A and B are shown apart, each in its own frame.
Chain A
Amino acid sequence: MSLGEKLLQAVIIIALFFAVVGVILVLTSKLRSRLGELIQSAAFLLPTILLLGVGLLYPAISTVRLSFRNNFDKLWIGFDNYKTIFTDSDLVRVLINTALWVIITPIVATFVGLIYAVLVDRSRFEKTAKALIFLPMAISLVGASIIWKFVYDDNTGILNAITDTFGLGRHHWLLSSPGNTLLLIVIFVWVQAGFATVVLSASIKAIPTDIVEAAKLDGVSGVRMFRYITVPSIRPTLIVVLTAITITTLKVFDIVRTVTGGNFKTSVLAYEFYVQSFRSANRGLGAALAVLIFVLVLPVVIYNVTQMRKVAR
């Protein structure tokens, strides 16, 4: 099929879709009954449900199914793939690394973001300062990883230059575990802190001035103001930021792939999923890893959504 034919097909399908929905709407608008309304709302919902089904539900179910199959997708092997994940020493390392990422990244990124937001709040350079910390967000993760790979480089890296100057010697920074995972986390914190700053700063500005003034009249200031007024007031936003970063962290892939290629014991779940599924051609194990990521992300997403509803109210 040529490109022209494909485009034509797409146009026809879209036209057909609008025609069908149009006809349903016109017909049901004549029926001023309960049933008419029902059909009408179904007509609106159906495309969404259909697309969700095809694009989300079907792949999800087929992935779960695949996770109980062997590498060639030819045999049912029960929970063997899951057993491998929790017993194979390399994969256990992957789990530990992922845990490190998920625990450290959100806390550090949010903390850095929060402190930064409070410090620059209402200062003269607020806009410039916020722009500076937000800039890394504009760089792709692969780009950021390449920048930091130069920093950690054995021979030309600035990190070795610094430690050498202070008499701490030169090191193979990316080779020694678990320090190398922490160095990779630094990259992600560098990127995510800007997001935390901007969201938290907006939330800090939304704290009603009467509360702040009342506290000031009561003689609260400095650290205690931060501890008893600022943090409790922005608590829901804090949680949203924390959970949002947690979810992104669970899916981190680009940094590990670009900087170490998963070597030197730095692999994480999302990267290992890719390696097993496509490079190792072990689709069963890859699917099991994907399901595991899903299971881990799910409670965080649910919590995140309920918190966001609270913020909205």
Chain B
Amino acid sequence: MALTAAFVSAGMVLAGCGGSDDGGSDSKSAGGTSPGEGKAGCEQLTQFGDLTGKKVHVYTTIVAPEDQSQKDSYKLFTTCTGATVEYEGSKEMEAQILVRAQSGNLPDIAYLPQPGLLNTLVTQTSTVKEAPKTVSDNVDKWWGEDWKGYGSVDGKFYAAPLGANVKSFVWYSPKMFADNGWKVPQTWDELMALSDQIAAKGIKPWCAGAESGEATGWPLTDWLEDALLRTAGADTYDQWIKHDIPFNDPKIAEALDKVGAILKNDKYVNGGIGDVKSIATTAFQQGGLPILDGKCAMHRQASFYAANWPKGTTVAEDGQVFAFYLPTVDPSKGKPVEGGGEFVAAFNDKPETVAFQTYLSSDVWANEKAKATPGGGWVSANKGLDPNNLVSPIDKLSATTLADPEAVFRFDASDLMPAEVGTNSFWKQMVAWITGQDTKKTLDNIESSWPS
């Protein structure tokens, strides 16, 4: 009992320290004795008191089959606090959350897949609550400065990072490579040489799919971003996102032409699917599948593509498919890594909401989530995540790629740009580009859509 009292008072002190922006130390605790008292992993959550019967409504883009591991990872939260999580996943979430914000019909928490969306919600609707002290402390402790920056708007910290993914991957068939004596390329030049070598064998080396419903075109924006990080470097990339250099800067054109040398080359694409234009109409989920039939050798797509291989496919270094790091132009200048992730935005500061935010930002949750994801397809940039808890080889590769001291991590640029560009003209113009429009016109059109 003395122990319990100590926990409660410690919680009070913590809450007291964090009460600066929501006035009053008790506002976060629901009172009573937390059901998680003395249980392992609940240390951060007991301060919120007894939340039995309370519900936290979470709205996300993560839908079946990936949602199950999310739900499983919340069990500890319920054990610790008594509160349950109401999970709502929708592919339309990115547009719907703005509709809901305008109509005042908001969930407690939303997982935003784009910092740009967070920016829009904060500046346009003022509905997002600033992150409480418990969350911001966790993020300071477990994440790098850059990740905290992605969850901040105008210097204020709102949303803690949740999951992460690595986009700079090229999927391939280790068996196909071994059978033909092909080696995983270490530089961009080697990559192009390998492509020629494969093409000479009568196999189209690359396959791609850009169709994704309303978001058609996003896989192509990733291509350009990855190329730009390699040709012009991370500093230019940052200036490009902030619009310090125009969208149609010659450096961007150079990167896009580099992509064009692969994706607009009829000898290289679209392995097992069709001609160049077929990229625009092929669903992104289908884009890499010809690798399994040996009709395509390489498919540049993020780590989360792991979920799209048919059931029974072994994803491993010695399996049917695996991924290698998309090589850079000049390896002496470091390893640029493009990635993405989700961010946890809260729309109120009820004790259960804050408790859940705190839980999600902790190392405890990151490890719970890793354990709840036996099939693979999930990693986090949370430094408290024990790589041994990751089960699948591709997740381990993602985690080591993110943790590599050589790595220069950059967030997906289109996710950071204003919505007019990042979720509209950039996608649309890249689709026009792949169906025939030239590089100059494409970049000029996007530049002119940049909001003044």
Q: What is A's interface to B at a CB cutoff of 8 Å?
A: 71-73, 89-90, 153-155, 172, 174-175, 257, 261-264, 274-276, 278-283
Chain A binder among B212-220, B339-347, B398-406: B212-220
Residues of A with C-beta under 8 A to B95: 274, 278-279
CB of B280 within 8 A of CB of A264, answer yes
In the assembled complex, the CB of B102 is this many whole angstroms from the nearest CB of chain A, namely 8
CB of A175 within 8 A of CB of B277, answer yes
Residues of A with C-beta under 8 A to B217: 263
Task: Type the 1/0 row for B106-125, where 1 means its CB is closer than 8 Å to any CB of A.
Answer: 00000000000000100110
Task: Type the 1/0 row for B19-35, where 1 means its CB is closer than 8 Å to any CB of A.
Answer: 00000000000000000
In the assembled complex, the CB of A221 is this many whole angstroms from the nearest CB of chain B, namely 50
CB of B214 within 8 A of CB of A175, answer no
CB of B451 within 8 A of CB of A282, answer yes
Instruction: List 11 A-B residue pairs with CB atoms under 8 Å apart, sorted by A's residue number.
Output: A175-B277, A175-B281, A175-B435, A257-B214, A261-B213, A263-B216, A276-B424, A280-B420, A281-B120, A281-B124, A281-B418
Which of the residues A73, A154, A257, A278 comes within 8 Å of B278, measured between beta carbons? A154
CA distance A281 to B280 in the complex (A): 25
- Judge whether B410 is part of the interface by a CB distance below 8 angstroms: no
- Judge whether B99 is part of the interface by a CB distance below 8 angstroms: yes
CB of A282 within 8 A of CB of B274, answer no
Given contacts A174-B281, A281-B98, contact A264 B423 (CB under 8 A): no
CB of A263 within 8 A of CB of B428, answer yes
In the assembled complex, the CB of B432 is this many whole angstroms from the nearest CB of chain A, namely 8
CB of B124 within 8 A of CB of A73, answer yes
Residues of B with C-beta under 8 A to A262: 214, 428
Which of the residues B99, B216, B419 comes within 8 Å of A261, measured between beta carbons? B216
- Judge whether B443 is part of the interface by a CB distance below 8 angstroms: no
Query: Which parts of B54-98 form the interface with A (CB within 8 Å)?
Result: 94-96, 98
CB of A263 within 8 A of CB of B280, answer yes
Residues of B with C-beta under 8 A to A174: 281
Considering only CB atoms, which chain A residue lies closest to B420 in the complex? A280
CB of A281 within 8 A of CB of B428, answer no
In the assembled complex, the CB of A11 is this many whole angstroms from the nearest CB of chain B, namely 21
CA distance A90 to B429 in the complex (A): 10
- Judge whether B431 is part of the interface by a CB distance below 8 angstroms: yes
Residues of A with C-beta under 8 A to B94: 279
Query: Which parts of B408-440 form the interface with A (CB within 8 Å)?
Result: 418-420, 423-425, 428, 431-432, 435
Residues of A with C-beta under 8 A to B98: 278, 281
CA distance A244 to B424 in the complex (A): 32
Q: Besides the contacts A275-B424, A280-B424, A281-B418, what 5 more A-B pairs have beta carbons closer than 8 Å? A: A90-B425, A155-B274, A261-B213, A264-B432, A280-B419
CA distance A172 to B423 in the complex (A): 25
Residues of B with C-beta under 8 A to A89: 445
CA distance A262 to B445 in the complex (A): 16
In the assembled complex, the CB of B289 is this many whole angstroms from the nearest CB of chain A, namely 13
CB of B431 within 8 A of CB of A264, answer yes
CB of B277 within 8 A of CB of A279, answer no
CB of A264 within 8 A of CB of B214, answer no
CB of A72 within 8 A of CB of B123, answer yes
CA distance A275 to B95 in the complex (A): 9
CA distance A262 to B424 in the complex (A): 10
Which of the residues A154, A257, A274, A281 comes within 8 Å of B281, measured between beta carbons? A154
CA distance A120 to B418 in the complex (A): 56
CA distance A282 to B419 in the complex (A): 8
CB of A172 within 8 A of CB of B281, answer yes
Query: Which parts of B257-306 form the interface with A (CB within 8 Å)?
Result: 273-274, 277-278, 280-281
Residues of A with C-beta under 8 A to B215: 261
CA distance A282 to B281 in the complex (A): 27
Residues of B with C-beta under 8 A to A281: 98, 120, 124, 418-420
Residues of A with C-beta under 8 A to B445: 89-90
CA distance A196 to B266 in the complex (A): 47
Residues of A with C-beta under 8 A to B274: 154-155
CA distance A172 to B281 in the complex (A): 8
CA distance A274 to B277 in the complex (A): 27
Considering only CB atoms, which chain B residue lies closest to A271 in the complex? B214
CB of B213 within 8 A of CB of A71, answer no
In the assembled complex, the CB of A273 is this many whole angstroms from the nearest CB of chain B, namely 13
Q: What 10 A-B pairs come out closest when comparing CB atoms?
A: A281-B419, A278-B95, A280-B424, A281-B120, A280-B420, A263-B431, A261-B216, A261-B214, A172-B277, A279-B423
Residues of A with C-beta under 8 A to B123: 72
In the assembled complex, the CB of B225 is this many whole angstroms from the nearest CB of chain A, namely 19
CA distance A164 to B120 in the complex (A): 48
Given contacts A71-B451, A263-B280, contact A282 B420 (CB under 8 A): yes
Residues of B with C-beta under 8 A to A90: 425, 428, 445
In the assembled complex, the CB of B335 is this many whole angstroms from the nearest CB of chain A, namely 33
Considering only CB atoms, which chain A residue lies closest to B448 in the complex? A88
CA distance A283 to B102 in the complex (A): 11
Residues of B with C-beta under 8 A to A275: 424
CA distance A278 to B121 in the complex (A): 11
CB of A278 within 8 A of CB of B424, answer no
In the assembled complex, the CB of B357 is this many whole angstroms from the nearest CB of chain A, namely 22
Given contacts A155-B274, A263-B216, contact A175 B280 (CB under 8 A): yes
In the assembled complex, the CB of B55 is this many whole angstroms from the nearest CB of chain A, namely 10
In the assembled complex, the CB of B124 is this many whole angstroms from the nearest CB of chain A, namely 6
Considering only CB atoms, which chain A residue lies closest to B95 in the complex? A278
Residues of B with C-beta under 8 A to A73: 124
CA distance A125 to B377 in the complex (A): 57
In the assembled complex, the CB of B35 is this many whole angstroms from the nearest CB of chain A, namely 21
Residues of B with C-beta under 8 A to A283: 124
CA distance A263 to B211 in the complex (A): 10
Residues of A with C-beta under 8 A to B216: 261, 263
In the assembled complex, the CB of B68 is this many whole angstroms from the nearest CB of chain A, namely 26
CB of A279 within 8 A of CB of B419, answer yes
Residues of B with C-beta under 8 A to A172: 277-278, 280-281, 435
In the assembled complex, the CB of B85 is this many whole angstroms from the nearest CB of chain A, namely 17
CB of B99 within 8 A of CB of A72, answer no
Considering only CB atoms, which chain A residue lies closest to B428 in the complex? A263
CA distance A280 to B216 in the complex (A): 14
CA distance A73 to B123 in the complex (A): 11
CA distance A73 to B102 in the complex (A): 12
